[in-house]
Chain A
Amino acid sequence: MTDATHVDGNALGGLLMEVFGREMTDAHGCCASCGKVHPLGAMRVYRSAGDVMRCPTCGNVTIVTVVIRERTRVHLGGVRWIEPLA
Chain B
Amino acid sequence: MAGTAVLRRLTWAVAEVVDRIGETPRVLSLTCDVPDWPGHLPGQHIDVRLSAEDGYQAQRSYSISTPADGTRLTITVERLDDGEVSPYLTDVLEVGDRIELRGPIGGYFVWEPSRGGPLLLVAGGSGIAPLMAMLRARLQAGSDVPVRMLLSWRSGEDIIYADELDAIARDATGVEVTHTFTRSAPDGWTGRTGRLDRAALASLAWTPSERPLAYVCGPTGLVEAVASALVELGHDPARVLTERFGPTGG
User: Which residues of A are at the interface with B, using a C-beta cutoff of 8 A?
Assistant: 2-11, 13-14, 17-18, 21-27, 39-42, 47, 85-86
Contact = CB atoms under 8 A, between A and B. Distances in A.
B220 A3 contact: yes
A40 B247 CA distance: 21
Given A2-B224, A21-B8, A41-B108, 9 more contacts: A3-B220, A4-B221, A7-B220, A7-B245, A10-B108, A14-B103, A26-B4, A85-B1, A85-B107
Contacts of B241: 41-42
Contacts, number: 92
B246 A14 contact: no
Contacts of A23: 3-5, 105-107
A18 to B, nearest CB: 5
28 contacts: A2-B220, A4-B221, A5-B246, A7-B246, A8-B242, A8-B243, A9-B108, A10-B45, A10-B105, A11-B61, A13-B45, A14-B61, A14-B105, A17-B10, A17-B105, A21-B7, A21-B8, A21-B9, A23-B3, A23-B5, A23-B106, A23-B107, A26-B107, A26-B110, A41-B109, A41-B241, A42-B241, A85-B1
Given A2-B224, A86-B4, A13 B244 contact: no
Contacts of A8: 109, 242-244
Range for the number of chain B residues in contact with chain A: 20 to 34
A7 B4 CA distance: 22
Contacts of A47: 246
A21 B82 CA distance: 34
B47 interface: yes
Contacts of B8: 21-22
A78 B242 CA distance: 22
A77 B243 CA distance: 25
Interface in B69-99: none
B136 interface: no
B107 A41 contact: yes
A41 B44 CA distance: 12
A16 to B, nearest CB: 9
A3 B242 CA distance: 16
Contacts of A3: 220, 224
A21 B221 CA distance: 32
Nearest to B228: A2
Nearest to B11: A18
A10 B109 contact: yes
A14 B47 contact: yes
A67 to B, nearest CB: 11
A7 B106 CA distance: 14
Contact of A85 (B3, B103, B247): B3
B5 A17 contact: yes
Contacts of B107: 13, 23-27, 41, 85
A11 B47 CA distance: 10
A3 B221 CA distance: 7
